[in-house]
Amino acid sequence: MRRLDLILVADEPFEIPLHEGYQLYSALLGLMKGSSPNVSQRVHDSPISSFSLGGFKGPFQQTDSANRKRVIPNQPYHLRIGITDPRDEEILHHLAMPFILGHRVLSLDQGDFNVVHIEDQSVSIDDWVHQNRNYTRPLLEFNFETVTCIQYRNSTVTEMYPNRIAVFNSILSKWNRVFPNENRLDASRDDFGRYLVERPNFFNLATYSVLTNTVTDQKKRLNKPIFKQGFVGPCRYSFTTNTPEWFRTTILLLSRFAEYSGVGSGVARGYGQVKVTVQGGANEE
């Protein structure tokens, strides 16, 4: 897995959507298309999200619209891109090389960002196993930084709460699509419900309805927006005292992976970005 961390600065103020991931996704696909149209099209059409995209982290000014925010000139903004595609070298090359080779501008609908710093990090499953071996009674601090949209099973309903079963089943599904063979992980929804306990911070938990995609209405020849609901905010997950070791190992691996894959749907469009901190702590009775 790979991760790109970018620092961007704008010369002039301009407005962007409150949840800017959809617009940012289009801008990055445009850059990739300039480098390799085939890779850009493959990423767009792939049923497996090739990368996850966070929002801009930094202060913004308010605007007259509740659905928009204003970029502050000369203010650094941080952007994180996780790459989980098995062909990550190719994705990385066509995603990062335009910036590295001198195209240091990321253009959005109403203004431009200058890319002033870019850092590439690589990690393997063996690295995570080594990190996790020191934890015997871990606590998992999840901070859902962008709106996280998780479909409730096969329904049209979405989760409005970081339920342990929904969250970890989503991450497990992404893991097994990326690693379908020797590194496949086996855990059931019952396991997530039996051995995990979630403790969300309701004072800092919020819900939103966000644009995640558009489809073309062939009869009216119009683009129809697709909205989904989701949540942002912190949640702590802990283990019950009777948790088997194999399950603890599985959850720790999934937690590390979540920072690269994202959680839920629309992760390439800026949704489901999560920051995970693993701490030592007591198990739940």
Characterise 153 by phi-psi region: left (phi > 0), alpha (psi -120 to 50), beta (else).
Answer: left
Tokens coding 276: 């995970």
With 70 as the cut, is the pLDDT of residue 59 above it? Answer: yes
Cα 92 → chain centroid: 16
Quote the CA–CA distance of 149 and 96 in Å, as a whole number.
27
pLDDT reported for residue 4: 85
Name the residue with higher pLDDT: 29 or 92: 29
- Whole-angstrom distance between the N-terminal and C-terminal Cα of the chain? 35
pLDDT band at 46 (very low <50, low <70, confident <90, very high): low
Mean pLDDT, residues 260-267 taken together: 90
Whole-prediction pTM: 0.84
Residues 6+ apart with CB under 8 A from 155: none
pLDDT reported for residue 143: 95
Q: What is the pLDDT of residues 185-238, one digit of tens each?
A: 999 999 999 999 999 888 888 887 766 656 566 676 666 666 678 899 999 999
Mean pLDDT, residues 144-156 taken together: 84
In Å, how far are 29, 44, 251 from 255, measured between CA atoms? 27, 26, 6
Q: Which of 17, 13, 39, 168 is nearest to 97 (CA)?
A: 39
Total residue length of the chain: 285
Name the residue with higher pLDDT: 236 or 88: 236
Instruction: Walk me through the domains of the chain, giving residue ranges and CATH numbers.
Output: 2-122 (3.30.70.1890), 125-280 (3.30.70.1900)
Name the residue with higher pLDDT: 3 or 35: 3
